[in-house]
């Protein structure tokens, strides 16, 4: 009787199936699909885990169930690309299937959803499971939502930062000082990195800048830099570029620096949220991963910015400083004007054109962006003991050294020198004009971003907006406020309709 029970247990807990390549990628999580009859035999349900074993290799994957035998016949297991690659599987390979338990981190995510604090081991396990694709997209979304609803304590945030760094690569430069900067985002334009890096590098300092792609904005720095040069490199090549040119502007997502952060960002993008604790951990983990010693953090503040008022800004400033001290970094947080877009171009190509005009000292350059970049450079120079930093930065700009350094960085990143006028802008354009004369008193950052994204930015790099007026400027009735550019006729028409229906500029 005992032998019979053991045989039954083997039948229900273990199964051999034939592999079918589904030719689908999940983008991260390990997923397999089995026929509903096989699932019933093992009492499996959608989102349960199974262990797939081939020889001595195995992976724990999330189960989906095929209701149709046409997609995945009985006796077959459909595997996504991530599983196929991990186990080196081929069509018709035989694999062994056993039931597996869910990751430990599921219980810890539930704990955070309940508003409880997580300890070091729990946070480390969650990050490990994220990095190793053990959580499904739904489970990772719950973690992001839990941290958004029940904000992490400063201690939890520090633990999250350290865990992100621990489970990723580190750029080791053996240099001092290593300069870095970051804006918490939320302001259209604001392309300071692409001006600050060449100024600081031209001054002889090391600045290995990793940048993000857009989450909720019409362009991230990586999207804009990609107009001029490649931004995707392995960490070894990034190091080579930095040591050659003193700086770089690359996409952090390709470097395995704090990879958990990139997976979290992928979830945040469709939700258009940015949990404070994850924002803090994300920024500081990336800075720590590139061996930064001196870090300038930009916190834009304004009605339509991420940070609405001074109380919120000072709280964030304090938390950045606490994390910086715990990581033994020199950190300075500046609270800047976030009431309106910075610069004129909004969208990758339009922003790249602004940057080149600024570095070339062209009369068309955006002076608000220039002023902010010079102020940031002054703060960085002050951190490393250089006086009159604003004047020094301006001298580097006016001499052409910053532009030449940018060309050097562009070439090191497999790009080539290009004139601003040669950057291709979307061929469909529409001017939005003021309905009355007066002074611009308010600009809605969210609607600026929304219109630019609807027009096609950042996926269509030539799409976006070009702004002619800023807060405090006088405007006449019928005068242009901004121009919409788009590469797509359909998206262009939709962006026009939205621009006509929304009050983006307030003129009094």
Active-site residue (options: 38, 129, 274, 298): 274
What DSSP assignment string belongs to 329-373? -EEEEEEEE-SS-BSSEESHHHHHHHHHHHHTT-TTS-HHHHHHH
Q: What angle do CA 323, 212, 253 make, to 5 degrees?
A: 95
Quick check: 423 and 410 in contact, CB under 8 A?
A: no
Quick check: 487 and 457 in contact, CB under 8 A?
A: no
Q: Can you tell me whether residue 483 is helix, strand or coil?
A: strand
Single out the residue of 184, 413, 394, 404 nearest to residue 280, CA to CA: 184
Quick check: 377 and 198 in contact, CB under 8 A?
A: no
- Tell me how crowded residue 142 is: count the other CB atoms within 10 A of its CB: 18
Q: Is 444 in the active site?
A: no
- Tell me how crowded residue 29 is: count the other CB atoms within 10 A of its CB: 20
User: In a 10 Å sphere around its CB, with 0-12 CB exposed, 13-18 middle and 19+ buried, how is residue 465 labelled?
Assistant: buried
Beta strands at 207-211 and 247-251: parallel, antiparallel or unpaired: parallel
Q: What angle do CA 478, 481, 482 make, to 5 degrees?
A: 125
**Token pair of 444, please?**
């809605």
Q: Can you tell me whether residue 196 is helix, strand or coil?
A: helix
User: In a 10 Å sphere around its CB, with 0-12 CB exposed, 13-18 middle and 19+ buried, how is residue 104 labelled?
Assistant: middle
Q: What angle do CA 133, 292, 118 make, to 5 degrees?
A: 45
What DSSP assignment string belongs to 235-300? HHHHHHHHHHHSEEEEEGGGTTSSHHHHHHHHHHHHHT---HHHHHHHHHHHHHHTT-SEEEEEEE
Beta strands at 57-66 and 49-54: parallel, antiparallel or unpaired: antiparallel
Q: Can you tell me whether residue 430 is helix, strand or coil?
A: strand
Q: Which residues pair with 46 in a beta bridge?
A: none
CA pair distance 347, 340, nearest whole angstrom = 15
CA pair distance 221, 250, nearest whole angstrom = 9
Helices (H), 384-502: 389-398, 401-412, 445-455, 489-501
**Token pair of 228, please?**
């001029």
CA pair distance 158, 326, nearest whole angstrom = 8
Residues with active-site annotation = 274
């Amino acid at each position: 009787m005992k032998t019979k029970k053991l045989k039954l247990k083997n039948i229900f807990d273990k199964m051999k199936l034939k592999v079918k390549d589904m030719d689908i990628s999940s983008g991260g999580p390990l997923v397999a699909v089995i026929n509903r009859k096989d699932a019933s035999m093992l009492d499996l349900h959608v989102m349960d885990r199974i262990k797939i074993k081939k020889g001595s290799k195995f992976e724990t994957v999330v189960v989906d169930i095929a209701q149709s035998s046409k997609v995945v016949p009985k006796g077959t297991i459909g595997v996504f690309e991530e599983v196929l690659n991990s186990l080196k599987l081929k069509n018709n390979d035989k694999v062994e299937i056993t039931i597996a338990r869910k990751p430990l981190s599921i219980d810890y995510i539930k704990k955070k959803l309940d508003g409880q604090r997580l300890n070091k081991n729990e946070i480390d396990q969650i990050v490990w499971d994220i990095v190793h694709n053990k959580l499904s997209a739904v489970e990772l979304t719950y973690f992001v939502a839990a941290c958004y609803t029940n904000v992490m304590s400063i201690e939890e945030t520090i633990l999250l930062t350290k865990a992100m760094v621990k489970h990723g690569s580190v750029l080791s430069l053996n240099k001092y000082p290593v300069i870095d900067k970051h804006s918490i985002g939320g302001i259209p334009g604001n392309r300071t990195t692409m001006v600050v890096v060449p100024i600081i590098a031209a001054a002889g300092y090391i600045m290995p800048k990793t940048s993000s792609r857009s989450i909720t904005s019409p362009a991230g720095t990586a999207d804009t830099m990609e107009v001029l040069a490649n931004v995707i490199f392995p960490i070894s090549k990034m190091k080579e570029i930095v040591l050659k040119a003193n700086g770089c502007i690359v996409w952090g997502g390709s470097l395995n620096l704090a990879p958990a952060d990139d997976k979290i960002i992928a979830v945040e993008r469709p939700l258009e949220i940015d949990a404070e604790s994850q924002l803090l951990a994300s920024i500081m983990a990336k800075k720590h991963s590139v061996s930064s010693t001196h870090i300038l953090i930009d916190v834009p503040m304004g009605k339509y910015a991420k940070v609405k008022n001074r109380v919120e800004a000072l709280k964030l400033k304090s938390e950045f400083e606490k994390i910086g001290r715990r990581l033994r970094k020199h950190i300075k947080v500046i609270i800047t004007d976030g009431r309106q877009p910075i610069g004129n171009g909004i969208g990758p190509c339009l922003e790249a054109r602004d940057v080149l005009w600024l570095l070339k000292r062209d009369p068309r350059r955006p002076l608000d962006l220039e002023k902010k970049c010079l102020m940031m450079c002054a703060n960085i120079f002050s951190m490393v003991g250089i006086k009159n930093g604003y004047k020094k930065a301006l001298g580097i700009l006016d001499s052409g050294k910053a532009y030449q350094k940018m060309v050097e960085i562009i070439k090191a990143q497999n790009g080539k020198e290009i004139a601003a006028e040669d950057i291709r802008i979307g061929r469909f354009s529409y001017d939005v004009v003021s309905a009355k004369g007066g002074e611009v008193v308010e600009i809605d950052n969210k609607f600026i971003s929304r219109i630019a994204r609807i027009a096609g930015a950042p996926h269509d790099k030539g799409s976006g907006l070009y702004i002619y007026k800023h807060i405090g400027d006088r405007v006449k009735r019928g005068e242009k406020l901004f121009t919409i550019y788009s590469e797509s006729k359909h998206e262009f028409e939709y962006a026009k309709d939205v621009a006509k229906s929304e009050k983006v500029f307030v003129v009094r």
